[in-house]
Structure 1
Amino acid sequence: MKQRKIGTSPVSAIGLGCMNYAHGYGNGLDDRDAADLLLKALDLGYTHFDTATMYGAGRSERILGDTLSARRSEFFLASKCVLYPGPNGQGREIDGRPERIKAACEDSLKRLKTDVIDLYYQHRLDPNVPIEESAGAFADLIRQGKIRSYGLSEISAETLRRAHAVNPVAALQSEYSLWTRNPEIATLEACAELGVTFVAFSPLGRKFLSGKLSLTDVEAPAAGDMRASMPRFEPQTYARNLALLDGYRAIAEDVGCSMAELAIAWVLSRGEHVVAIPGTANPEHLAENARADEVVLTPEILARLDALINERTVLGPRYNPAQQADVETEDFAPA
């Protein structure tokens, strides 16, 4: 797989988001199947694995550590803290206090069965803790050799600059795809200016852009599927968004690739400082996503894609008000 960089470390341009097998969409895997998925990813050329304490309340980290610790030198390991399951597993809490970040890192190191995490993110901004204080905690962890670099997730360009002034930020992670364009407001440019890698999660639009999520799937979601609370996946709205896929499917056919490959290739076309981390619990989709590395998009194809699916043509916000309250990413003004 083609390589790009996070900091000074080469990583596969397409990494693996390690949420789906343990958390989020109601279709997680048992430990054995999740381990098989991780091993297959490594054998396919994925060298960037992205997990978090939040994913399955530590389960994603534990499975990754149990499975890949013996091959630790073969991949770049990223995890996240600050966002945690709430009391008794209900809801979630955000805690960016330096002492909590440092304690969380110790717990992650144990679950991941490693001495050092290559990239450790602040998963969400804590509105009660200045970003400079949280950034200072990550800087301490770097000096102690427990992490090699740190990143931020779902934050604004302004907050990125403030954290970067305390200690250089290696990566900024946010949702980015044809149907979620918020990073184009400010953070993509800020990352390029500061030498920060932009890590795009959900490059497939939470499966929408793969063409594999039907209206029936949305009308009867699996228990625990977070999309059920997202406005774009409300059945009537989703039915209208599905109309975009007719033209999108035609473009994929013209390019000679699958719809999923096309979506990931579009994200990678945004700049050499951009990497993608699609998640999946399906081994066939894992291999399909990796093939996006080979897709070349011409300026004409990029123009067709940009005109077809964008912030003006997609219906519905990406998050409901409660979810949106936890993110600081810039948002488009209402139409």
Structure 2
Amino acid sequence: MMKYNTIHKTGFKVSDISFGCMSLKSDGTENDAIINKAIDGGINLFDTADLYEKGENERLLGNALKGKRKDVFISTKVGNQWRKDGSGWDWNPRKEYILNAVDDSLKRLQTDYIDLYLLHGGTMDDPMDESIETFERLVDMGKIRSYGLSSIRPNVIREFVKRSNIAAVMTQYSYLDRRPEEETLDLLLNKNIGVLARGSMASGLLVDKPASDYLNLKAAEVEKIVNELKNNLPEGRTLQETVMRYVNGHPAVTTAVAGIRTLKQLEDAINTANTLPLMEEERQHLQALWAGNTYSEHR
């Protein structure tokens, strides 16, 4: 049965596994059916961004959620501004841009409010206080219910924790990317800030893709780690269950955001959500199989 965890600063109770919409394409014929089945399966958090397909990902989510808006939480992101010629995007965390972008997202999502609005990146050179003030203003206006940050940079995350009232951080975390275990996850747990963990399958390397270089790991190292994992699966567990349960078994993690494109992937995610958590000794055994990695930049 689906478990729900609270994002403490909002009171939102969100499903243990949530739906990452980025993999859905706007011309997909099954999008509505997949999203409806996700809701039926207990998933209630849907994550998108204005960057994905130049906003079309938000539009398809808005269409699929017609009549169901009150049953779900929407997380979307801002900060990557598409160039007018469509050739790419530029980073823009400024007030004027965010105030315009939120209105565009609301229209595409066909909603009056966004539950969680995330700054989609960030650097130490940003005008952080200006961005934070803008998010606070949007809360006061009722256009968003809470805000946060999508980042893998510990130095940026620390600054937002110090300066703002962020409710949640989305960050990459998996058995192959254990960098957040060093500091970030404990910091957020201690501050009652929710964690949306993305990339729990490490782009498929942990479950079905051939080994390749990943972060600071060479392909041979990835292959060795995955083989060790396969040979040490907790009794009665599949590989997918194990890697997903490893992620959302960390006490800081509120929800694991699964990138879903097909009904089969959705079924796998829901089946995983309905399994028991790893026991602490199982988790410790998995952690001991390799030393883990740490951030080399943005510390």
TM-score, normalised to structure 1's length?
Answer: 0.80
2:141 aligns with 144
Aligned-residue Cα RMSD (Å) equals 2.4
1-side partners of 2:222 and 2:164: how far apart?
41
The answer to whether the 8 Å contact 1:69/1:112 transfers is no
Deviation (angstroms), 1:273:
4.6
- Unaligned runs of at least 5 residues, structure 1: 23-28, 219-230, 313-329
One-letter identity of the residue aligned with 1:10: K
2:247 aligns with 267
1:55 aligns with 52
1:25 aligns with none
Does residue 174 (structure 1) correspond to residue 138 (structure 2)? The answer is: no
Does residue 283 (structure 1) correspond to residue 263 (structure 2)? The answer is: yes
Does residue 40 (structure 1) correspond to residue 37 (structure 2)? The answer is: yes
2-side partners of 1:130 and 1:82: how far apart?
12
Deviation (angstroms), 1:246:
2.2
2:284 aligns with 303
Q: How many residue pairs align between the two structures? A: 293
The answer to whether the 8 Å contact 1:179/1:310 transfers is no
The answer to whether the 8 Å contact 1:118/1:149 transfers is yes
2-side partners of 1:178 and 1:72: how far apart?
33
1:223 aligns with none
One-letter identity of the residue aligned with 2:206: L
TM-score, normalised to structure 2's length?
Answer: 0.89
Does residue 21 (structure 1) correspond to residue 17 (structure 2)? The answer is: no
Deviation (angstroms), 1:156:
4.1
What CA deviation, in whole Å up to 9, does each residue of 1:26-47 have, x standing for no partner?
xxx7332222221221111110
The answer to whether the 8 Å contact 1:251/1:301 transfers is no
1:232 aligns with 214
Deviation (angstroms), 1:233:
8.7
The answer to whether the 8 Å contact 1:177/1:202 transfers is yes
2:113 aligns with 116
2-side partners of 1:163 and 1:245: how far apart?
34
Deviation (angstroms), 1:141:
0.3
1:80 aligns with 77
1:213 aligns with 209
Counterpart secondary structure, 2:114: coil
The answer to whether the 8 Å contact 2:186/2:252 transfers is no
Deviation (angstroms), 1:186:
2.2
One-letter identity of the residue aligned with 2:210: S
- Unaligned runs of at least 5 residues, structure 2: none
Q: Percent identity?
A: 29
2-side partners of 1:164 and 1:137: how far apart?
16
1:248 aligns with 229
2:92 aligns with 95
2-side partners of 1:130 and 1:64: how far apart?
31
2-side partners of 1:17 and 1:110: how far apart?
20
Structure 1 172/256 Cα, relative in aligned 2: closer, same or farther at 3 Å?
same
Q: Name the structure where helix makes up a greater proportion of residues.
A: 1
